[in-house]
Amino acid sequence: MKRSELNFLEPRRQAQAAIAIFIYKFVVRILRAAWPILLVFLFRSNKEQSNTELLMNATVVIGGLFSLGVSVVAYFRYFFHLEEDQLVIQKGVFNRSLTKLPFERIQNLYIEQNVLHRLLGVVSLRVDSAGSSGHEVTIDALEREDAEAMRAYVLEQKQEEAQERSGLGPEASERSAPLAQSIVLRLTFEDLLRIGVTQNHLATAGVIVGTVFGFLFTVAGAFEQDLVKTLIERWPMLQPGFWGFLILATLLFVVAFFLTLIRTVTQHYDLQFFESRDGFQLKAGLFNRREASMQKRKIQLIRWTDNPLRRLLGLFRVSIHQAISGSERVAEQISIPGCKQAQVNDLVHSSFEGSAEAEFRGHCISKAYFIWYIRFMLLPAVVFGALGYLLQEPRFALPAVGFPVLGGLYLWAYQQRFRLWLSPEYLKTSEGVLGRTVTLLPVYKVQSVRIRQSFFQRRRALASVELYTAGGSVRVPFLPLDLARALQDYVLYRVESRREDWM
């Protein structure tokens, strides 16, 4: 895109729909922070309030109106434009700030559209940059055409700068111009239902339990009532006991299952995964529609996982990790919740040329891994055994025996299934017990290698190796020390001898 075709060369405001978005964000912040106060205000309004309570309520209302006014004024004080090779943002109501974000620091640009954006006919543009643990810039309201034009222009400028640093001429830029995108994968509604069944429903159940108890205790504190006692009196099934526990556990699992299913469908609705010559693009979401792009040269590693249910359906969850800055942004990588093995292979081969022909040599980890970690399983066994002996309670025998037995079986299976695969150009790990996680990365993408040894490992000439890339890390535990040092030396040699840019 030519610079003269852009509408962002002069400072400009966001679309007017940003006012409604600012107000919406303000209301959400108020509800999240002050919902217990609002409940008290609503349900105790029939009671006479003291002067102190009236003063507090008035203070909250006045503060809310003031913050609302500030949110509206913030729209008129927010300007952005493109200047030479950087994005410039001016914002602030009382304290003005000026942010200049060079294109070379921009990692990615995401176009997102939630329900409110759809109603207002706009999108938001989120810019991630190097050197920041969060999102550097978010433009809340833009016309879709403007957002796509800005993203395309910035990415083109970054590509030209990379070619200039590599010493390539303009003809190389023409040869590397991206081709029309071709769709690689599209998930239908039926696909998402199958994927939703294979998700981690226990994690959802844990979130439900934490949310419900947090709500009950917060409300009980606000109303100064024992809500737990009141609920047990109204619903006898909540009383402690085997059948009450069984009913609640079944209900919890059913609710968690359907919530996980709904979340999977809405989050990945109409997922489309595209490939072009220089990168990938993903579009997905029902209520919050998001578009994420990634350049192939920035891909650091690819990881795919399964579990017993996914394995039964022949599915893998794939995550593509690009160069990032800060551990808080790992979740921003492109993730596909369900792929067939053939699709995983195509994606890996397209991202890392030559990986299909690579000849890997496998290595196991030491059996001392089991010996070291089984000790931690013996501690709860001793605690439960002591409680059973002191309290004369036979029921403590089950966890006293179960912890070391089940823990030992898990550790033994993990040690037996862990594999480190090495080729001249690539490194791959495979690990897991019930499920399997495979990680593949080019050796020259590694930025640092660290060898760690505990006292136990030093006595047995063992070590754990940690390999760090700009998109995540890989850990290989309990390798023979000679192999760990050879791996460190070889990886560092390949990094120093390769001329390819790691991102």
The predicted pLDDT at position 107 comes to 78
In the 3-class helix/strand/coil scheme, how is 381-398 assigned residue by residue?
A: HHHHHHHHHHHCCHHHHH
**Looking at residues 197-221, what average pLDDT do you find?**
81
The predicted pLDDT at position 328 comes to 44
In a domain, 503, yes or no: no
Give the Cα separation of 486 and 483 in Å (integer). Answer: 5
CB 268 within 8 A of CB 284: yes
**Residue 161 and residue 304 in one domain:** no
Task: Give pLDDT tens digits for 238-282.
Answer: 555 666 677 888 899 999 999 999 999 999 999 999 998 888 999
**Residue 78 and residue 33 in one domain:** yes
Give the pair of three-digit tokens for residue 179: 């081709």
CA distances to 84, 152, 180, 291, 340 from 177, in Å:
21, 12, 10, 21, 30
In a domain, 82, yes or no: yes
Which is more confidently placed, 445 or 172?
A: 445
The boundaries of the domain holding residue 232 are 191-267
The predicted pLDDT at position 357 comes to 86
**Residue 321 and residue 470 in one domain:** yes
Residue 237: is its pLDDT beyond 80? no
The predicted pLDDT at position 475 comes to 96
**Residue 399 and residue 338 in one domain:** no
**Residue 118 and residue 32 in one domain:** yes
The predicted pLDDT at position 331 comes to 40
What is the domain count for the chain?
4
Residue 322: is its pLDDT beyond 90? no
Q: Assign residue 131 a region (left: φ > 0; alpha: ψ between -120 and 50; beta: otherwise).
A: left
Q: What is the torsion angle, in degrees rounded to the nearest 10, for the CA atoms of residue 335, residue 341, residue 345 and residue 346?
A: -80
In a domain, 502, yes or no: no
CA distances to 33, 116, 284 from 340, in Å:
43, 35, 18
φ and ψ at residue 101, rounded to 5 degrees: -115, 105
**Residue 100 and residue 234 in one domain:** no
Task: Give pLDDT tens digits for 459-500.
Answer: 999 999 999 998 889 999 999 999 999 999 999 999 888 766
The predicted pLDDT at position 54 comes to 67
The predicted pLDDT at position 493 comes to 92
Task: Give pLDDT tens digits for 61-84.
Answer: 777 777 778 778 888 889 999 987
The predicted pLDDT at position 166 comes to 60
**Residue 436 and residue 307 in one domain:** yes
Residue 408: is its pLDDT beyond 90? yes
The predicted pLDDT at position 326 comes to 47
Which is more confidently placed, 190 or 209?
A: 190
**Residue 198 and residue 262 in one domain:** yes
H-helix segments, 226-297? 227-234, 242-267
**Residue 263 and residue 287 in one domain:** no
Task: Give pLDDT tens digits for 278-321.
Answer: 889 999 999 988 888 888 888 999 999 999 999 999 999 999 99
Predicted confidence band at 352 (pLDDT cuts at 50, 70, 90)? very high
Mean pLDDT, the chain, rounded, equals 83
Residue 329: is its pLDDT beyond 50? no
Task: Give pLDDT tens digits for 216-230.
Answer: 666 666 555 555 566
Instruction: Identify the domain boundary among 113, 147, 177.
Output: 177
Residue 443: is its pLDDT beyond 50? yes
Instruction: Identify the domain boundary among 224, 242, 267.
Output: 267
Give the pair of three-digit tokens for residue 430: 């495979």
Give the pair of three-digit tokens for residue 106: 């921009």
φ and ψ at residue 315, rounded to 5 degrees: -115, 155
Orientation angle between helical segments 17-43 and 51-76, nearest 10 degrees: 170
Task: Give pLDDT tens digits for 96-120.
Answer: 888 888 888 887 888 999 989 999 9
Task: Give pLDDT tens digits for 10-46.
Answer: 889 999 888 888 888 888 877 777 666 666 665 555 5
**Looking at residues 82-101, what average pLDDT do you find?**
87
**Residue 58 and residue 19 in one domain:** yes
Which is more confidently placed, 391 or 219?
A: 391
**Residue 359 and residue 393 in one domain:** no
Task: Give pLDDT tens digits for 156-194.
Answer: 887 777 667 666 555 554 444 544 678 989 999 999 999
**Residue 408 and residue 487 in one domain:** no
In a domain, 183, yes or no: no
DSSP assignment of 422-441 equals E-SSEEEEEE-SSSEEEEEE
In a domain, 289, yes or no: yes
In a domain, 186, yes or no: no
Instruction: Identify the domain boundary among 231, 250, 267.
Output: 267
In a domain, 182, yes or no: no
- Strand 436-442 vs strand 279-284: parallel, antiparallel, or unpaired? unpaired
Which is more confidently placed, 233 or 22?
A: 22
